Amino acid sequence: MKQLQSLRQIYPPDRFTEDAAFLAAFESDGLTAFRQRPLAVVMPENADEVIATVRWCNEHRVPFVARGSGTSLSGGSLPIADGIVISLNRLKRIISVDPDQRIAVVEPGVINLDVSAAAAPHGLYYAPDPSSQTICTIGGNVAFNSGGAHCLKYGMTSNHVLGIKAVLGTGEVVTMGGPSTDSIQPDFTGLFCGSEGLFGVALEITLRLLPRPQRFHTVLVGYHSLKDAGDAVSAVIDAGLLPGAMEIMDALSIEAAEAAVACGYPEGAQAVLIVELEGPDEKLQHERKRLEEVIAKTNPFAQRVAVDEADRLFIWKGRKSAFSAVGRLSPDFLVQDGVVPRKRLGEALVRIQAFAKESGLRVANVFHAGDGNLHPLIMFDDRESGALARAEALAGQILRMCIEMGGSITGEHGVGVEKREYLPEMFDAASMDFMHRIRQAFDPNLICNPGKMFPGTEAPALTTHGLHPLEKSGVISRE
């Protein structure tokens, strides 16, 4: 494309491509229902190249999406038609690890788990652990303020990012926050976390490291009823325990995980609960006793304690594989992500099952139970006419239920393209206007990942065809 010629000069030929076969690999992200082909993909190797690219985009008003491994589950890293993709996977330097200050400074393309690997010799680790942590990148974690099983105790990505150097949509390079854990000024770093690529591109990220827990105590509990498992979560918290993680899987997701990785969960369980305590030995001795007492009162029919680290990872394997495993039960599925108050988990699950029954679709439930973060997996067969629309309507019912119950339409996957239309149901017009104004302070020309998060047709260059509501509004196209 002619327009891109001056951009091409920034890169050697092997790191700038318009080749259709190559572009196809970037057409989609973890939300596989949607596809879009970019004009080109560039692969910078350092911050200067990223800065030059963003400045070029701003000057030529060419929109871009910066992406790492593209594991977004809300379509956040979906390409933009008439836009380019800035692939950040080569910016994968761990710039420094400071065990005294307990911080690491990394580039955005660093894989989440590689931070912990680099910190391990010092007895430290990086706490946020999305299920995709073996492949997802810190830049993406920042963009979506990612969570993970251990958010219950440790909070989200934003709780672990101390500073960010970024290039904004204007082309300016700014520093937000810094190495100090005490704050100065409004929390610009926190603002950037969760901005879904709309504010600019993070170039250097200062992460907080924590001492590795000395020991884990991981319990797998089987229940004959999903409600009992849900109630157990509140009972554990009410007993004053704060596990590192508390996860629930329902019968369908257990079936899927069993088929996929033979994780040996209790046969006949309608739900399993994984509770993981962590800390020094002496503390665990007392807490595990307390946990046993609490669990005993929640009608479990089976229980298993991990005997060693291998066994612990084996218990987690079922949970961590659940999303992909559900693919075995259904040709297509939507992963939903909503939040309800923890005490209303049981009620929410009952309502989701009722919605599912009405719509004639199966829903598997996997969730970060401790913080009320639901992940309903809505199964459908895209070859059936209208099936996707039914699945999406069901997803909408679930999200509206979350709003109504005082929760949120996303716990950790972000708004992306998938949930843009629901945002105004959570926030009133003045609040939406205000958010948009803030966004424009970062990116006045709307070149940074336009069409994501905010509803409206602000990325007119996007291809419009098909019948999906998001397609109608001009946000995405689907093959």
- List of residues contacting a second copy (CB under 8 A): 100-101, 145, 147, 151, 156, 158-159, 168, 172-176, 178-188, 190-195, 199, 211, 214, 240, 280, 282-283, 285-286, 339, 341-343, 371-373, 406-412, 415, 423, 426-428, 430-431, 433-435, 437-438, 440-442, 453
Half-sphere CA count of 181, side-chain side, radius 13 A: 11
Nearer CB in complex with a second copy: 135/173: 173
For the bound state, the minimum distance from the C-beta of residue 440 to a second copy, rounded and expressed in Å, comes to: 7
Nearer CB in complex with a second copy: 86/176: 176
For the bound state, the minimum distance from the C-beta of residue 19 to a second copy, rounded and expressed in Å, comes to: 35
Strand order in the sheet with 94-98: 94-98, 103-106, 200-208, 161-168, 173-177
Nearer CB in complex with a second copy: 256/284: 284
Q: Closest by alpha carbon to 329, among 271, 220, 250? A: 250
CB 252 within 8 A of CB 329: yes
Q: How far apart are CA 246 and CA 87, in angstroms?
A: 34
CB 273 within 8 A of CB 247: yes
Q: Closest by alpha carbon to 416, among 180, 71, 18? A: 71
Nearer CB in complex with a second copy: 392/443: 443
For the bound state, the minimum distance from the C-beta of residue 175 to a second copy, rounded and expressed in Å, comes to: 5
Nearer CB in complex with a second copy: 340/361: 340
264 CB neighbour count, 10 Å cutoff: 15
For the bound state, the minimum distance from the C-beta of residue 140 to a second copy, rounded and expressed in Å, comes to: 15
For the bound state, the minimum distance from the C-beta of residue 136 to a second copy, rounded and expressed in Å, comes to: 17
Core vs surface per residue 138-170: b (16+ CB within 10 A) or e: bbbbbbbbbbbbbbbbbebbbbbbbbbbbbbbb
Q: How far apart are CA 344 and CA 125, in angstroms?
A: 33
Nearer CB in complex with a second copy: 282/309: 282
For the bound state, the minimum distance from the C-beta of residue 295 to a second copy, rounded and expressed in Å, comes to: 18
